[in-house]
Chains A and B, each alone.
Chain A
Amino acid sequence: MSADDTAPRQPERSFGAIGRTVERADGRVKLAGQAEFTSDIRPPGMLCGAVLRSPVAHARVLTVDASAAEKLDGVVAVLTASDLADLDPFYGHALRDRPIVAIDRVRFAGEPVAVVAAESQAAADLALTRIDVEYDALPVAASLDAALAPGAPLVHEEPARPGSAHGLGRLPDRDGNICYHYGFERGDLERAFDGAAVVVAGEYTFPAVYQYSMETHTTIADYRADEIILWSSCQHPFLVRQEIAALFGYPLDRVQVIVPFLGGGFGSKSYTKMEPIAVAVSRKAGRPVRIRNGVDESMVTTRRHNMRCRMRTAASADGTLLGRAVDLWLDTGAYADNGPRVTATAGDAAPGPYRWQAVRVSADCVYTNTGPAGSYRAFGATHLQWIGESQVDEVARRLSLDRLDIRRRNLLRPGEEVRPGGKPLDADLVGDVEKAAAAIGWHQPRTTGRGRGVSVGLLAAGAHPVSTATVRLGADGGVTVLVGTTEAGQGARTVMAQIAAEVLGAPIDRVVVRGTDTRYTPYDRSTGASRSTTIAGLAVQRAAQAVLDDLIETASVLLEAPPGLLRLEEGAIRSGSRSVTHSEVVRTRFGFDGGELVGHGRVQPEGGTGSYAEGPVFWEVCVAGAEVEVDQETGVVRVLRTASVADVGRAINPQLVARQDEGATLQGIGNALFEEMRYTPDGLLLNDTLLDYRIPSFEDMPTTMACTIVENADGPGPFGAKGCGEGVLAAIPAAIVNALADAGVPMNVLPLTPERVWRRIQELRRGTKQEGT
């Protein structure tokens, strides 16, 4: 990232807004029930939308007859494919493969076929039952096996088109149902395996998982003759703006995306989701329309990729890791969404953070007739870390080595290359994993039926390093920060306020960070990949610095002292016994009681294009430990203790860092132990409610959850910070799998349901060998 500012003039200071716990900026309004989410907004004339979804996974759509629905009381418009004839109605982040509503063909059960806009939700819902659709069933490829089989039905037959902003360079041609391939080979793999004393090999299965942000995808669109206005629960408003502008033929500045508070995101609200449908139906109705998904609808809007993986790891007799070969297939569902990026990230996570003589990775992104898969917190790393780390543990077990020692011997050290040409390692992994082990009592005596595990990994973080920000210092000393980061619960507004307060010496309660409105908020690429504090935060820091420079210049005149002798205090600038407040400086500067100082900051790629291959911006550390107990009679696994390590460079707000880790820990427990979307062979989702798709509750909390914060000031963000919040989700399932193996039950399938664990225990008792391992 390049600095667009000159060397900062930092006056001596006597306050501190970062590195300490300050109250969440948005906490009180949320606890009063007054925080505004998208579904709380009701622009005048707003209609309620409802989406008719395909009941089958793969079929030709012969006819869609909405005439009866259109005649119902309260129905204003019914959108079908025939309304899209004047558009190129395809969109998609990585591949432009998805129509706004199904055209001629449905590719997954739940695919939107028609959309009703009506005066009430009840009228819209009723109208769905009056739309007649005639389907002609096609053969279904509802699983990786089915989609990869010779002669498999093709989910897409048209030529592939690149998506709006994938950043993955030239995309390879589609090969059957494989829509993207990522792979690399380094070193002489054959030699590495030939020289090995031990080779661990296995085949592994990872489930489809639902992100479940409690606020389901919600969008209000108002299509007008001269502009499009959207209120949307989206993480990446500027990417949504770009895609909507392209779809409907509007300039960027005629598409306004407003993002209220998000009721969680976790990646599920990345990129474009329900926005094209909402805009299209508003265009037809001539009025604003709200689309609010049910949970069943959000589950088929996006999910985490299920995966099959084959991995082999070779090591020498002294425990030196030699080589690793990985083949993996990610099921991206019927539309690519972010699948190619997930595939590349999974491929990069596959070797793990070790020093290899040779490594080969082949990662395929596969279309199937299921709901599209996209981003979910720590994607790629969560898929691979439990596999790679279980093989490292197995190597240690076979060589009778301590599982920490084998990691000490092989882990990359700071400054070492992680992948050729990319960012070198910027973290102390050995120190991190030792902390996780210590926190779960690694050397304490073992109890029967219990086991302990640690895991360590890296997640390519930061996405594209493009952010801009504006900071305004008003005449009363108040500071407004305009930054495009979405507050999804992670605490972005609080952290951005702290960064601005730290630079300007403003009292923290006088800094306000607003939600994004693309009409006024300067560009920020996205809220994801743990990038906000690091990249958007750096833009805020630079914007605040520009204001400070201005402030100091005027204060220097007022105080008749050179800038170098001024001292920054909270809300004031001092020279010896004299001081002026920020407010006085602004008022004096403009001469009439008004005016404000405005500063801009930007972050952009240094040199190159900011593409995936040149990154990442930083390596997010994924380190955790877990202690589990397994009931031999029932197969129930209970997580007793967890320890996470937040290697964040500098914690702007330590309490919020700990909350990120705790939240990711519980999501990791859900991913590891019971979360799994299950489909029939025909591609119908079986568990599409929270009654049968269970997420962790209070009762799934471990007895202790330790979070250790590591601050080595080695991040590229403001004050040496780097992002956090995702890595733990990759590390916890891996630590749990390793702990369960330590308790005597090695597993190669997630989630670790009681039935699977119990069957495995029976196999082990009978002495049956686990398939592949």
Chain B
Amino acid sequence: MTEQISAVINGKPFEGRVAANELLLDFLREELGLTGVKQSCEVEVCGTCTVLVDGAPVSSCCFLTCDIDGRRVETIEGLAGTAFHRSAVEAFMRHAAVQCGFCSAGMILTAKSLADRGIDPSPDQISRAMSGNLCRCTGYRSILDAVTEILREFGEGAPA
């Protein structure tokens, strides 16, 4: 069974039929070649498959492709080149907050959603808000430091 959908993916309109049971993760990776989104736990715990749907982070491993109908999807490929991504890259590089890199795209996309929501960039708030993104390499400290800087630059109350 397929369904007709129309969505905006990384700023570009998409129209077409997709399998009704297809996961967004597989659609992005296998159909569109957007391999920046990664598969790991497949149960919505680890956050490596995070993408933004209408600005909110979702685990694409547990999200049906047909449910993006009428919505906006952003992946790391779509974020690349934006001022936010440029700053995020500099902050992650400064703190060496990337190691194997498997979790990094999900981390940056979740941070983007936090900046858009304007959360208070305190360590406790960020840790709580980012706890759906796991990292097995870094020990989190460097990512926390990087995200704190990004939110100070881009979050609500950041200097315009």
Residues of A within 8 A of B (CB): 21, 23-24, 26-28, 30-37, 39-40, 121, 212-216, 261-264, 266, 292, 294-295, 488-491, 655-656, 659, 661-667, 689-691, 695-699, 701, 705
Q: Are A701 and B96 in contact (CB under 8 A)?
A: no
A-B contact pairs, 20 of them (CB 8 A): A23-B93, A27-B101, A28-B93, A30-B98, A31-B104, A33-B36, A33-B77, A213-B100, A214-B134, A214-B136, A215-B40, A263-B38, A292-B39, A489-B102, A491-B96, A664-B139, A666-B140, A691-B43, A698-B126, A701-B144
Q: Which residue of B lies closest to A668 (CB)?
A: B139
Which residues of B134-150 are within 8 A (CB) of A? 134-144
Which residues of B are found within 8 Å of A262, using beta-carbon distances? 100
A48 nearest CB neighbor, chain B only: B30
Taking a contact as CB atoms under 8 Å apart, the answer to whether B127 and A212 are in contact is: no
Who on chain A is nearest to B135 by CB?
A214
Closest chain A residue, CB of each to CB of B91: A31
Contact with A along B115-155 (1 / 0, CB 8 A): 00000000000111011011111111111100000000000
Q: Does B54 contact A (CB under 8 A)?
A: no
**B98/A24 in contact, CB under 8 A:** yes
Q: Is B73 an interface residue (CB 8 A)?
A: no
- Decide: A40 and B139 in contact? CB cutoff 8 A: no
| Closest A residue, CB atoms, query B100 | A489
Q: A31 near B41 (CB under 8 angstroms)? A: no
Establish whether residues B40 and A261, one from each chain, have CB atoms under 8 Å apart when the complex forms.
Answer: no
Given contacts A214-B134, A214-B136, whether A33 and B102 have CB atoms under 8 Å apart is: no
Q: Is B53 an interface residue (CB 8 A)?
A: no
B residues near A (Cβ < 8 Å) are 26, 35-43, 45-46, 48, 75-77, 80, 88-89, 92-93, 96, 98-105, 108, 126-128, 130-131, 133-144
Partner of B104, one of A30, A213, A666: A30
Question: In the docked arrangement, what's the CA distance between A510 and B127, Å?
Answer: 37
Q: Which residue of A lies closest to B107 (CB)?
A: A31
Chain B neighbourhood of A40, CB < 8 A: 35
Closest chain A residue to B92, Cβ basis? A31
- Majority secondary structure, A binding face: loop
Chain B: minimal CB distance from A114 (Å): 22
Contacts of B133 in A (CB 8 A): 698
Q: How far is the CA of A213 from the CA of B102 in the complex (A)?
A: 9
Are B40 and A216 touching (Cβ within 8 A)? yes
A275 to B142, CA, bound (A): 34
Cross-interface CB contact of A698 among B38, B77, B104, B131, cutoff 8 Å: B131
Residue of B26, B43, B133 with most chain A CB atoms under a 10 A cut-off: B43
Instruction: Provide the residues of chain A in CB contact with B144, threshold 8 Å.
Output: 698, 701
A266 to B135, CA, bound (A): 13
How far is the CB of A449 from the nearest CB of chain B, in Å? 21
Check A33/B99 contact, CB under 8 A, given A689-B41, A690-B46, A698-B126. Answer: no
Check A34 against B99 for contact (C-beta < 8 Å): no
Q: Is the CB of B136 within 8 A of A294?
A: no
Find out whether the CB atom of A215 lies under 8 angstroms from the CB atom of B104: no
Known: A295-B42, A701-B139. 13 other contacts (CB 8 A): A27-B98, A30-B98, A31-B89, A31-B92, A31-B105, A33-B105, A264-B100, A662-B141, A664-B139, A690-B46, A698-B133, A699-B127, A701-B140
Please tell me which one of the listed residues B37, B99, B102 contacts residue A491 in the complex, with CB atoms under 8 A apart. Answer: B99
Given contacts A691-B43, A698-B131, contact A37 B137 (CB under 8 A): no
CA distance A414 to B72 in the complex (A): 62
Q: A294-B42, A656-B96, A699-B128 are in contact. Are A705 and B139 (CB under 8 A)?
A: yes
Residues of A within 8 A of B76 (CB): 32-33
Chain A residues with Cβ below 8 Å from B108 are 31
Contact for A662 among B128, B130, B139, CB less than 8 A: B139
Contact A214 B105 (CB under 8 A): no
Contact A663 B139 (CB under 8 A): yes
Q: For the complex, what is the distance from the CA of A659 to the CA of B139, rounded to whole Å? A: 7
CB of A214 within 8 A of CB of B48, answer yes
Decide if B92 touches A659 in the complex (CB within 8 Å): no
**CB atoms of B100 and A488 under 8 A apart:** yes
Contact B99 A663 (CB under 8 A): yes
A residues near B137, Cβ cutoff 8 Å: 264, 489, 659, 663
Determine whether the beta carbon of A261 is less than 8 Å from that of B101: yes
Closest to B19 in A: A122
> With A and B bound together, what is the CA distance between A554 and B41 in angstroms?
56
CB of B96 within 8 A of CB of A26, answer: no
List of B residues within 8 angstroms of A36 by Cβ: 35
Cα–Cα, bound, A453→B120 (Å): 34
B75 touches A33 (CB 8 A): yes
A730 to chain B, nearest CB (A): 16
B80 touches A698 (CB 8 A): no
Which A residues lie within 8 Å of B128 (CB)?
698-699
Find out whether the CB atom of B41 lies under 8 angstroms from the CB atom of A295: yes
10 interchain residue pairs of minimum CB distance:
A33-B36, A489-B100, A30-B101, A662-B139, A263-B102, A33-B76, A489-B99, A698-B127, A690-B45, A40-B35
Q: Of residues B100, B102, B138, which shows the largest number of chain A Cβ atoms within 10 Å of its Cβ? A: B100
Most buried by A among B77, B80, B93, B140: B140
* Interfacial chain A residues near B37, Cβ < 8 Å: 33
Q: Are A33 and B80 in contact (CB-based, < 8 A)?
A: yes
Q: How far is the CA of A233 from the CA of B85 in the complex (A)?
A: 28
- With known contacts A663-B138, A663-B139, A215–B46 Cβ distance under 8 A: no
**B residues less than 8 Å from A664 (CB atoms):** 139
CB pair A701 B127 closer than 8 Å = yes
Q: How far is the CA of A212 from the CA of B48 in the complex (A)?
A: 13
Residues of B within 8 A of A216 (CB): 40
A705 and B141 within 8 A (CB): yes
Nearest CB in chain A to that of B127: its residue: A698
Q: Is A690 a contact of B139 with CB atoms below 8 Å?
A: no
A664 to B101 alpha-carbon distance, docked (Å): 16
Q: Contact: A490 with B131, CB < 8 Å?
A: no
Q: How far is the CA of A705 from the CA of B143 in the complex (A)?
A: 14
Give A271 to B93 CA distance when docked, in angstroms: 31
A266–B42 touching, CB < 8 Å: no
Instruction: Report the bound CA distance from A28 to B139 in whole Å.
Output: 20
Residues of A within 8 A of B77 (CB): 33
Measured between beta carbons, the chain A residues less than 8 angstroms from B88 are 31
Given A24-B96, A701-B127, A701-B141, residue A37 in contact with residue B38 (CB < 8 A): yes
Chain A residues, CB < 8 A from B38: 37, 39, 214-215, 263
How far, in angstroms, from A664 to B37 measured CA to CA in the complex? Answer: 26
Q: Which one of A32, A35, A121, A216 has the highest number of Cβ atoms from chain B below 10 Å of its Cβ?
A: A32
**Chain A residues in 8 Å Cβ range of B141:** 662, 701, 705
Task: Please pick, from B103, B127, B136, B138, the residue contacting A266 in the complex, using a CB distance under 8 A.
Answer: B136
A691 and B45 form a contact (CB under 8 A)? yes
- A295–B134 Cα distance when bound, in Å, is 14
A167 CB → nearest B CB, Å: 28
Chain A neighbourhood of B98, CB < 8 A: 24, 27, 30-31
Alpha-carbon distance between A701 and B126 when the two chains are bound, in angstroms: 12
Q: Are A214 and B93 in contact (CB under 8 A)?
A: no
